[in-house]
Structure 1
Amino acid sequence: MRTRDENKEQLVRQKALELIVNQGLEGFSMQKLAKAAAVSPATLYIYYKDKEDLITQIGIEIGKKFSSTILQNFDPTLPFAQGLRIQWRNRAKYAIENRLEAEFYQQMRSSSFREKVMGSFMDDFKTAMGQFVHNSVQRGELSPMPIEVFWSVAYAPLYNLIQFHNEGHSLAGKRFEFSEETMNQTFELVLKALKP
């Protein structure tokens, strides 16, 4: 029986992320992964049962990391502006420092793996965020609105800034780099839009 090699396992994981992000789930195969990682296809099956198991395991690992990063120093009882600011900082830090993982996670959200992957870590996250929004509405710090509207106003602007940063330019083609100043300016506008 062949033994697990942690370095090789990390290499396989990294190459899987790169292939999935760059070629999509449809273009991903265990054969391509074995070639990219310079291992035999049999080696992959030491770590994963099959392609679905590999994608699911990586997705769950990244999802848990994403969720725990977002909830760092966050408490649902915080005042709305303070809690949202922590969320923005945590989300920006994760997305910029873990670009490949963040892009992989986005693919999982709109794939057939969504339920299997996200169901493994979303309960605590949903509970914390639900309490935060509820508390903020009860205190009159946040206008009541459907969750889809809240997310679109509260977080989409941040993710657009991160996308501009990742692409290296703005809509006008001007060089763009994510900064605390730009984040804070955008954040203040978002707060105004969400307050009653």
Structure 2
Amino acid sequence: MSHVGLLERAVTYTLGCLRAVTPEALSHPTPCHDWDLRALLWHLVDSLTALHEAAADGHVPLDSDLATHDDPVTAARDRARDLLGAWTAQDGRAVSIGGCPVTTDIVARAGALEVAVHGWDVARACHDTRPIPRALADELYPAALLLVSAADRPARFAPPLTPKTPDDRLLAYLGRG
């Protein structure tokens, strides 16, 4: 299941980015408008939880009941490990999101995009220049074209930018540079 491998690579990249987080960095601004690093990390934990529910339970409710944790980095690491285990065991059945069936391939690709790009956001907030690996970014780019439309801008994504290099094409499309 290539989509599970894609999700695994995105999670691995993001786990590497989490190593740069220090307690002092939690108040740093992020590329996500109006979010500090602490808020971004809790959003990432929520996303990782939803991806785990998709694989383990076969559905994702539209409302979240996220339990708080003292340390968002530890919570993100724990949720990342849990979701990889659940996706490895996932049997390929469709996932219900808010009552609508969605293929596991689409859910995993959307999740990989979310996780990798927010990993990049975490790195930037910590002044770490770790890029999304080129092969991963190239594989996520078609998912971004499919999943992010003009209706998502400017509320969820900034307007697309002109990429400076081919390596920047994914992030530029998502309004990050």
With normalisation by structure 2, the TM-score equals 0.25
More helix by share: 1
Q: Which protein has the larger Cα radius of gyration, Structure 1 or Structure 2? A: 1
With normalisation by structure 1, the TM-score equals 0.23
Higher RCO (CA-CA < 8 Å; seq separation 6+): 2
